[in-house]
């Protein structure tokens, strides 16, 4: 099952995606897709709805992030061997955990660069959305805590991240730096999260083309590990890391984003995102 949200920011409505990829308005049955919607029992109720009886949504409508009330975005850094190598950083011996301090944005929303931005960069990632509360989750049971998966762009300003006191969160948290979606795909449709292709292009040039087979720490390992330090809650998002091909690692010279660039990215079976890069004008 594919869950989505559509409409203007702050007033999105819930949707199901039918077998032809069309949005079907779910608002007659559900007020919104929230953390409370992500339990197994609630997802079963949604799955029982006759999707063919739901109204079609205009395909020109804005797509929002697929979950309304994400409380935390927990990120795993340097979780692909090839990405660690391109950044000239040692492989982590434990998952490297940091937080993004912004809210998820729509998968096709414009991304505004911070004023004076010099080193804006991209990171296509598989994101895990938690469906039930858990602390000290056993690794062998960890996937049962997953509501679903989605594509994610862990957008970054590398100067802020790496040259302004070593605080990764400050380089990851500008408004709009967390495009998520277009859909939340429930875990029953993603039986092997460790075997998904993911790619990213800028202005039609493919920079990232990887697979979650190359994760250093697997999805079950990440969930179990993070739950030792956080009590995971429904609606929490875990971004699992990015493969090689980020702008910072481009050889012989890094490539950073400028106004007018267009990013397209996808994770296998989880949909495509497209973002136009603009200068901060607020």
pLDDT of residue 281: 82
- Domain locations in the chain as residue ranges: 2-64, 73-279
Taking a C-beta distance cutoff of 8 angstroms, is the pair 233, 252 a contact?
no
Burial class of residue 206, CB neighbours in 10 A (0-12, 13-18, 19+):
exposed
Which CATH code fits 73-279?
A: 3.90.850.10
pLDDT of residue 159: 86
Question: Any idea what DSSP says for residue 247?
Answer: G
- For the entire predicted model, the pTM comes to 0.96
Residue-wise pLDDT for 180-207, tens only, equals 999 999 999 999 999 999 999 999 999 9
> What are the start-end ranges of the E strands in the chain?
2-6, 13-17, 23-25, 63-64, 73-77, 96-100, 111-113, 120-121, 124-130, 146-153, 156-157, 184-186, 197-202, 205-211, 237-239, 262-267, 272-279
Nearest CA-CA partner of 100 in 121, 80, 77? 77
The C-alpha angle with vertex 202 and arms to 172 and 256, in degrees rounded to 5, equals 50
How does strand 124-130 pair with strand 146-153? antiparallel
CA distance 69 to 231: 17
pLDDT of residue 87: 73
pLDDT of residue 211: 96
Q: Report residues of the chain scoring pLDDT below 70.
A: 166
């Amino acid at each position: 099952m594919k869950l989505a949200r559509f409409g203007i920011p702050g007033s999105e409505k819930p949707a199901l995606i039918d077998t032809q990829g069309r949005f079907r308005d779910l608002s007659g049955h559900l007020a919104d897709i929230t953390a409370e919607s992500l339990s197994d029992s609630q997802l079963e109720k949604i799955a029982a709805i006759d999707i063919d009886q739901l109204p079609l949504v205009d395909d020109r409508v804005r797509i929002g992030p697929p979950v309304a009330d994400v409380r935390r975005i927990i990120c795993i850094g340097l979780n692909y061997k090839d990405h660690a190598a391109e950044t000239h950083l040692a492989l982590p011996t434990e998952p490297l955990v940091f937080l993004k301090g912004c809210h998820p944005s729509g998968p096709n929303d414009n991304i505004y660069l911070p004023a004076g931005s010099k080193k804006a960069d991209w990171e296509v990632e598989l994101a895990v959305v938690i469906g039930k509360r858990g602390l000290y989750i056993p690794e062998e049971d960890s996937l049962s805590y997953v509501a679903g998966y989605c594509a994610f762009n862990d957008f970054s300003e590398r100067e802020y991240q790496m040259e302004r006191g070593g605080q990764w969160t400050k380089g990851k948290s500008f408004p709009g730096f967390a495009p998520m979606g277009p859909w939340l795909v429930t875990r029953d449709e993603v039986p092997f999260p460790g075997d998904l292709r993911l790619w990213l292009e800028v202005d039609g040039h493919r920079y990232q083309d990887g697979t979650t087979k190359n994760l250093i720490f697997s999805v079950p390992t990440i969930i179990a590990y993070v739950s030792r330090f956080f009590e995971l809650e429904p609606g929490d998002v875990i971004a699992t890391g990015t493969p090689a091909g980020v702008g910072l690692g481009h050889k012989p010279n890094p490539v950073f984003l400028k106004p007018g660039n267009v990013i397209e990215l996808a994770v296998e079976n989880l949909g495509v995102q497209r973002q136009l890069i603009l200068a901060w004008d607020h």
